Amino acid sequence: MNIKQLQVTYQPYADRLLLRISASDGGEFRFWLTRRLVGLLAEPLAKHLQGLPLNDDGADRPEPPGSIENPARQQAEAAFKHQQAVAGLQSEKTFQSPPDQNFPLGEEPLLVAKLGVNPADKGGVVLALHSKDNKGLSVQLGSPLLHGFCDLLVKCSDQASWGLALNLVPPTKVAEPPSKAFH
């Protein structure tokens, strides 16, 4: 499935995040993400974005980690890489529904009960989202789309005031202007 558009929004009445995935063939998939699930999702996504293996065996390292001797430089490089990836994505205010829209899993969002995050063969991750009765799908998020998805998760969980420290988006430090001191 080729992803055309991805949207994450906070729905206050349900206190959940609504994930909408639009496929290039006109299919739309809707999922409810709970606070607990977003918290569980954060660790493997953060590991992948930092270049760490998702599994303990170390077999799925997406890229070698940066310089261990200089964590400030590594953090700055990660922040720059994230900003580049997000800037390269098209950002639209509204979710565009295609004229030939269909809902292969139904119009009502599925409550995600089973989650999987695995490394993809060509970079990025495969995100598996399934309900308790195994309805759902697995979708590959390449590097730019993964960065955009993480950015949306952080913004929406902050909007929800869930108090989650997701650590998915590398912090950017703005250089402070020199202090003005008069003697």
pLDDT digit string (tens) for 18-72? 999 998 888 999 999 999 999 999 989 888 877 777 665 444 444 444 445 555 5
Angle between helices 143-159 and 35-49 in degrees, nearest 10: 140
- Enumerate the β-bridge partners of residue 45: none
pLDDT digit string (tens) for 98-155? 667 799 999 999 999 999 999 988 888 999 999 999 999 999 998 888 888 988 999 9
DSSP per position, the chain = --EEEEEEEEETTTTEEEEEEEETTSBEEEEEE-HHHHHHHHHHHHHHHTT--SSTT-TT-SS----SS-HHHHHHHHHHHHHHHHHTS---SS----TT-B-TT-SSPEE--EEEEEE-TTSSEEEEEE-TTS-EEEEEE-HHHHHHHHHHHHHHHHHTT-------SPP-PPPPPPP----
pLDDT at 93: 57
Higher pLDDT, 96 or 161: 161
Q: Specify the pTM.
A: 0.75
Bridge pairing between strands 3-11 and 16-23: antiparallel
Domain ranges of the chain: 3-159
Q: What is the mean pLDDT of residues 168-182?
A: 52
